[in-house]
Amino acid sequence: MAAPMQRAWLGLLRAAAARSYHARPPPRRQRGGVNRPDPDDPLVPPWQLQPAYEAKLFARHGSVSGVDPARLWPSPERLREMEAEEREWFPGLREMEAALDKKEREEERLRVERENLIAANMAKMPQMIEEWRREKAARKEKEREDKARKERLLAEVQERFGHKVDPRSTKFQELLQEMDKKQRKELKLKKKQLKEEARKQAADAATTAPESAPASAEGAEAA
């Protein structure tokens, strides 16, 4: 019981001491006075040493503040920077209209180019589809020819080695490749011969054409 009573008495004494304490009021400024911050005082807030605070003092107290109005006006360099920033972020009405017109013209140009490209591609679509079909048919035909050629090669090799030979053996694969090269060479030579014959026939036709032309001309004169 003694301990709780002791704590209660201590709480009452502290409360009484707190009620009897009166803090010292801050110093009052004289009416009409100017609170000029001391730059050498380390307790002065930094914002009170800025030009904005001096402008505030001059706006409130005028010349009584002791602030030189010339210091409140920006320097020529800062004024040019402010004008450049204003032109960049707040352009004039004519500049905004010119920029909007330029943007609209560019968008219109891009739209026309896109529509022309789409129209040109749509016009080419039938031809592109036809070319794709021809290429697809040519690929299938080539695949069929390659498959038939490989089957013929395989039959020839098996006939030479016998049907019991393993197609996966190294000797079988080497012979298959050799015969494949041989057939390709023969096919290339055959194509070259056909091309040479076609060229020769065209040359013969070109040489015989001038001889028949004068004959027909003489028959026309005799008539």
**What b/e string do you get for 168-196 counting C-beta neighbours within 10 Å, with b at 16 or more?**
eeeebeebbeebeeeeeeeeeeeeeeeee
**What b/e string do you get for 80-106 counting C-beta neighbours within 10 Å, with b at 16 or more?**
eeeeeeeeeeeeeeeeeeeeeeeeeee
Residue 109 is predicted with a pLDDT of: 95
Whole-number average pLDDT of the chain: 78
**33: phi > 0 → left, psi -120 to 50 → alpha, else beta; which?**
beta
pTM over 0.85: no
Name residues of the chain where pLDDT drops below 70. Answer: 1-9, 12-13, 15-33, 161-167, 209-223
Helices (H), the chain: 2-20, 51-61, 69-72, 76-89, 93-161, 170-222
Residue 2 is predicted with a pLDDT of: 53
Residue 223 is predicted with a pLDDT of: 47
Compute CA 47 distance to the chain's CA centroid, rounded to the nearest angstrom.
46
pLDDT tens-place string over residues 114-170: 999 999 989 988 998 999 999 999 999 988 887 887 777 777 777 776 666 666 777
Q: Which two tokens stand for residue 16?
A: 């009484």
